[in-house]
Structure 1
Amino acid sequence: MRLARLGPLALLFLAGCVSLLKPARSFTATTPAPAPNYAQASSWAALPTRRDSADALPRAASLRDGQATAAADVFFIHPTSYYWRGRWNADVGNARLNRYTDRTTIFNQASAFNAAGRVYAPRYRQATLYSFFDKQGPDGQQALDLAYTDVKAAFQYYLAHYNQGRPIIIAGHSQGGTHATRLLHDFFDHDPALRKRLVAAYLIGCQAKTNEYQTIRPCPDSLATGCYVAWNTSDRGFDYPPYYGLAATNPLTWALDTLRAPAALNRGGVGPDMKRVDAHVTDAQVHRGILWITPPKVPGYPRFFLPGYPELHHSFHAADIGLFYMNIRENAAARVQAWTR
């Protein structure tokens, strides 16, 4: 299936037939593609030393790519863009998949951070979408574990060869947010020296808990550093007990309270094509581990529709970043300034 040529709405439709995306053989019966070599530029979807999709800016907006003079770095981990069923994990040498990743998640998600820092985004042997729906055995988790070994190796290479002691933003969405959550466990939670360089972590669209770490806490406000923010976006009025206890930040106020923030505080959403900035696109309110919103009246921010998974029909998972693009962009830059004071 040449899914990389399809648009996001078509992918959501196909994802509705989740069973069709299940790899034919078990994880242990397949041979993963070779691990990436992060000394090679081709193993990175974004590097600040070259032109790539992370340099993008929304049209009709007076914005600037600040990577050339940025004081901080951003280590961005992209979400799932691999839907094939031939293997449980993607091949980083798959040129078609890489083009799709670059023109979607790197273009319209990683770019939200290019005002705050130099953007590094590794390619990795991401787990196929079905991994998140695999409840019958260990295959899905094994695929996610393999993907994380690449992300961890990429971060180790980044620290050794690129960082040079600079402050760091960790950011990821969905599968990328899951791996980012693990990075904080492995590298920051028990390392005071490295933790001092953490500006903030944006753990978006994953399941980071309020007590996820021993030493790192959810950010209490818009300028706190050394902390993390997290949210999962859904229709107003939806209640989902499995998310009770998850960290939820309001990206319009950067507070942890349950007050409703009006759409007037939304600096602008950006759709997948980045052709416009939609000011005041929606409000936001934290409710029991979920971020409630009023559904936008403008196109470009679809719900996540999966037949057989009614709890997801209320989800704006694909727009977790897009709905708050400008707020994220401004906040990341503001936290870097707060860190450097």
Structure 2
Amino acid sequence: MRLRFFYLLILGVLPLSACLKVLKPAQDFAVSPVPEAPDYRMEDNWAALPDRRDSADVVPRNTLLHDNQRNAPADVFFIHPTTYYWRKQWNASLTDERLNRFTDESVIRGQATAFNNTARVYAPRYRQATLYSFFDEEDTSGKAALDLAYMDVKAAFQYYLDNYNHGRPIIIASHSQGTVHATQLLQDFFETSPSLRRQLVAAYLIGFNVKSDDFQHLRPCEDSTQTGCYMAWNTVAWGTAAKAFEKGVAVNPLTWTRDTVTAPARLNLGGVPHDFNRLDKRIVDAKVTNGLVWVHPPQPKGYPRFLLPGHPELRNSFHIADYALFYGNIRQNAAARVRAYRMLLNGQ
């Protein structure tokens, strides 16, 4: 029932009123049950760790791609997007095995693996806020749920720094709710620490409205090998206006520049559909427009549009395919930035 509802939601079959009614938790945050906080010493509280077998180790089937975490020269700290949509409580429990499997089989597999050729993947589970938190305009419950979720992400990153990093280069990568938390993480850790900024290869802040003035020290990436910078984009069908995401930072994931020149589909190294069973080269073109990335909708199946509740203008959004449509380019670019970082580090 849960997964069936989710697919009806992302395909835009359910009307907005039905979505909001089903998604809103029955109680305010102040009286809603709060799941137990995770202990990040426990491996079960990580969706991905590089020294064990998990969903971040795979590559798309029927391709020649390979997982290289054993020899990877960098780390990626990946913060997954919302996979919890239900009204039982405002924040997900880490003991929900069905939710954990869904997270692993969808976004850990479909997004975090884009980095496993060049980085060791660390992805914490966290008490993510339910999707309705982003549309809660009646009170402060949604914000409180997001704040609680960020507490976990912050604790996980501190544990990662103290126990796993050992001074290695760091990529921060995220999507949607994960990007809300990643933006705050960069502000709390990297903006305040010159030494951590020196470790930052780049941040992939995908699927949310990241503003150019969100940071004092960090700047948007301007080319494909710049390091210590961040990238952001929100993908929509060609010609779409989307006020929720307009005027944010947009980097073209086919050229890694911020100009408004159309990048042809021949530059697309391959999208990966939700079945994770192929690499569709030249799947879409891309053009930066007013803080968005426009694409002509892909012809192959497996890249559904997403009707976001509360934002009917996003009926032409490819939000859930922000990584999928550019999977090959993200994979290549992460490796290129790590190489550039290491060359700079070695004074070459």
Partner of residue 123 from structure 2, selected from 121, 124, 136: 121
Alignment of 1:318 onto 2:316: no
Cα offset, 1:59, TM superposition: 1.3
Partner of residue 181 from structure 1, selected from 169, 183, 192: 183
What secondary structure does 1:277 align onto?
A: coil
Task: Give the counterpart letter for 2:152 in structure 1.
Answer: D
Deviations 1:6-44 (A, max 9, x none): 485334245842221100000001131110000000000
Partner of residue 85 from structure 2, selected from 83, 86, 95: 83
What secondary structure does 2:161 align onto?
A: helix
Where do 1:1-341 residues align within 5 Å? 2-3=1-2, 5-6=3-4, 9-12=7-10, 13=13, 16=16, 17-306=19-308, 309-341=311-343
Cα offset, 1:243, TM superposition: 3.4
- Asked if 2 retains the 8 angstrom alpha-carbon contact of 1:236 and 1:293, the reply is yes
What secondary structure does 1:280 align onto?
A: coil
Change (3 A) 1:307 1:226: closer
Cα offset, 1:277, TM superposition: 0.6
Root-mean-square deviation (Å) = 1.4
Q: Distance in 1 between matches of 2:231 and 2:27?
A: 37
Deviations 1:287-320 (A, max 9, x none): 0101110011111111112466321102100100
Task: Give the counterpart letter for 2:189 in structure 1.
Answer: F
Deviates more, 1:207-216 or 1:69-78: 207-216
Deviations 1:259-295 (A, max 9, x none): 0000000000001111011000000000010111001
Deviations 1:130-174 (A, max 9, x none): 111111111111100000000000000000000000000000000
What secondary structure does 1:231 align onto?
A: coil
What secondary structure does 1:270 align onto?
A: coil
Q: Distance in 2 between matches of 1:289 and 1:27?
A: 33
- Asked if 2 retains the 8 angstrom alpha-carbon contact of 1:15 and 1:21, the reply is no
Q: What TM-score does the superposition give when structure 2 sets the normalisation length?
A: 0.95
Q: Distance in 2 between matches of 1:6 and 1:114?
A: 30
Deviates more, 1:119-128 or 1:131-140: 131-140
Cα offset, 1:93, TM superposition: 1.0
Cα offset, 1:222, TM superposition: 0.3
Q: Distance in 1 between matches of 2:291 and 2:276?
A: 29
Equivalenced residues, count: 339
What secondary structure does 2:122 align onto?
A: strand
- Asked if 2 retains the 8 angstrom alpha-carbon contact of 1:190 and 1:215, the reply is no
Q: Distance in 2 between matches of 1:276 and 1:95?
A: 28
Change (3 A) 1:180 1:268: same
Cα offset, 1:55, TM superposition: 0.7
- Asked if 2 retains the 8 angstrom alpha-carbon contact of 1:73 and 1:118, the reply is yes
Change (3 A) 1:243 1:80: closer
What secondary structure does 2:277 align onto?
A: coil
What secondary structure does 1:171 align onto?
A: strand
Deviates more, 1:177-186 or 1:235-244: 235-244
* Aligned-residue identity in percent: 57
Task: Give the counterpart letter for 1:186 in structure 2.
Answer: D
What secondary structure does 2:232 align onto?
A: strand
Cα offset, 1:181, TM superposition: 0.8
Cα offset, 1:241, TM superposition: 4.2
Task: Give the counterpart letter for 1:327 in structure 2.
Answer: N
Q: Distance in 1 between matches of 2:15 and 2:232?
A: 25
**Uncovered stretches (5+) of structure 1, i.e. residues with no partner:** none
Change (3 A) 1:15 1:329: farther
Q: What TM-score does the superposition give when structure 1 sets the normalisation length?
A: 0.96
- Asked if 1 retains the 8 angstrom alpha-carbon contact of 2:110 and 2:274, the reply is yes
Task: Give the counterpart letter for 2:7 in structure 1.
Answer: L
**Uncovered stretches (5+) of structure 2, i.e. residues with no partner:** 344-348
Change (3 A) 1:14 1:252: same
Q: Distance in 2 between matches of 1:174 and 1:223?
A: 24
Task: Give the counterpart letter for 2:99 in structure 1.
Answer: L
- Asked if 2 retains the 8 angstrom alpha-carbon contact of 1:235 and 1:315, the reply is yes
- Asked if 2 retains the 8 angstrom alpha-carbon contact of 1:172 and 1:180, the reply is yes
